[in-house]
């Protein structure tokens, strides 16, 4: 893969997850004006952390087909795999999926599926019991494509689990999803602290949308 990595330990209530993350994310930025090639995938986003905690403590995925959309390094999907899911990790960067597979297998998730696809040309026909997405609805230009995937790749009585850092544009996307998809919604707000000298504290909203 040719990318220098370091190990980061993520703590669940009674287990550690050890993840390879990119050591120098800035080194991957070749053109800061090219939004499609900014390495958003290369770190664990704050919104991924409470999703992983919530999955570990509250959801049984035995026998379920789960997709993590915009998987990046795959933390929530890995935890879902440990809770019994058959997980498909999807991202538009091959490097992200390569690292996710390594991380999943290193943490005991042996059966891993991947789908490499741009949301603007997403041709995966499979439907899932659950779709996970941590901070994926942040870009007004891309949100319509992501929303369409969340609706079309979800089974008739499926579930969406979405977390975000409380951006107005994300709330707008969630309202559209609820209107189009016939979902009932449960919301939790979870504080998160990360090791960052500038922005260590976040409030993350977790939305469970279930079709009824």
**What is the torsion angle, in degrees rounded to the nearest 10, for the CA atoms of residue 111, residue 116, residue 119 and residue 123?**
-90
Q: For residues 67 and 70, give the distance between their C-alpha atoms in angstroms, rounded to a whole number.
A: 9
Q: Which domain holds residue 74?
A: 5-211
Residue range 144-172, pLDDT digits in tens: 999 999 999 999 999 999 999 999 999 99
CA atoms within 13 A on the CB side of 12: 23
Q: What is the 8-class DSSP label of residue 40? A: G
Q: How many whole angstroms separate alpha carbon 67 and alpha carbon 50?
A: 17
Count of domains observed in the chain: 1
**pLDDT tens track for 42-53:** 889 999 999 999
The band of 1, judged by pLDDT with boundaries at 50, 70 and 90, is: low
Question: What is the CATH number for 144?
Answer: 3.40.50.150
Which secondary structure element, helix H or strand E, spans residue 17, and what is its range? strand 16-22
Q: CB of 76 within 8 A of CB of 55?
A: yes
């Amino acid at each position: 893969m040719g990318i220098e990595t370091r190990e980061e330990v993520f703590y669940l209530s009674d287990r550690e997850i050890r993840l390879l993350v990119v050591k120098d994310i800035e080194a991957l930025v070749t053109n800061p004006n090219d939004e499609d090639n900014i390495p958003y995938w290369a770190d664990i986003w704050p919104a991924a952390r409470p999703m992983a905690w919530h999955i570990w403590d509250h959801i049984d995925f035995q026998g379920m087909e789960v997709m993590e959309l915009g998987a990046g390094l795959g933390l929530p999907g890995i935890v879902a795999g440990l809770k019994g899911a058959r997980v498909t990790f999807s991202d538009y960067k091959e490097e992200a999926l390569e690292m996710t597979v390594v991380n999943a297998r290193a943490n005991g998730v042996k059966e891993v599926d991947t789908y490499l696809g741009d949301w603007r040309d997403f041709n995966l026909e499979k439907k899932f019991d659950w779709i996970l997405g941590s901070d994926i609805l942040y870009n007004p230009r891309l949100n319509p494509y992501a929303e369409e995937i969340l609706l079309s790749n979800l089974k008739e009585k499926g579930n969406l689990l979405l977390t975000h850092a409380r951006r107005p544009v994300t709330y707008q996307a969630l309202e559209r999803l609820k209107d189009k998809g016939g979902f009932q919604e449960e919301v939790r707000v979870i504080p998160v602290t990360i090791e960052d000298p500038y922005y260590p504290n976040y409030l993350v909203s977790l939305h469970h949308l279930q079709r009824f």
